[in-house]
Amino acid sequence: MHIWNPAAAAAVVRASALRPCVFGSRLYYRDATSLTEITGTTQPDGTVQFAVTRAQVTAVKSNAAYLFITTRHVLHPGAPDLRWGWRYQVAQGNRRLRATDSDGTLLNLDAQGYLRSPLEPFDEQVEIGRETIAFT
């Protein structure tokens, strides 16, 4: 679980692949009674961007709900090697937020403010990434 500390305002979650592949991502909002997919928009650079409403941010901050993100990586014939990975960030306006792990340790973000997964080998033609996102 990665924990982010947004203000009580709308936020944006962005996800992208670290290696050439056919990439897809989904963001879900889960509360006590429902599971809702937040529709993402694919940007020209392949990044998938999700808009999280102020009400959703507030519910996640109060521990009444949580977000989780999934990614799908399909091996691309032109890939330089057989590894896959992804990165994501949470932002509000022009401010990229910092993340901690569950014990409060600050996590390292790349120069663009993304949290990166480790590169993994493709064991199959399709690999899935998943992460739970919490707010404090």
pLDDT of 35 > 90? The answer is: yes
Find the mean pLDDT for residues 120-125: 85
The pairing of strands 86-92 and 11-17 is antiparallel
Find the mean pLDDT for residues 18-29: 91
- The set of residues, in sequence order, having a beta carbon less than 8 Å from that of 108 and lying 6+ positions away, is none
Q: d(Cα 105, Cα 37) in Å, to the nearest integer?
A: 29
Q: Say which DSSP state 106 is in.
A: B
How confident is the model at residue 123, as a pLDDT? 84
pTM of the model: 0.90
Find the mean pLDDT for residues 16-38: 92
pLDDT tens for each residue of 60-88: 989 889 999 999 999 887 778 888 999 99
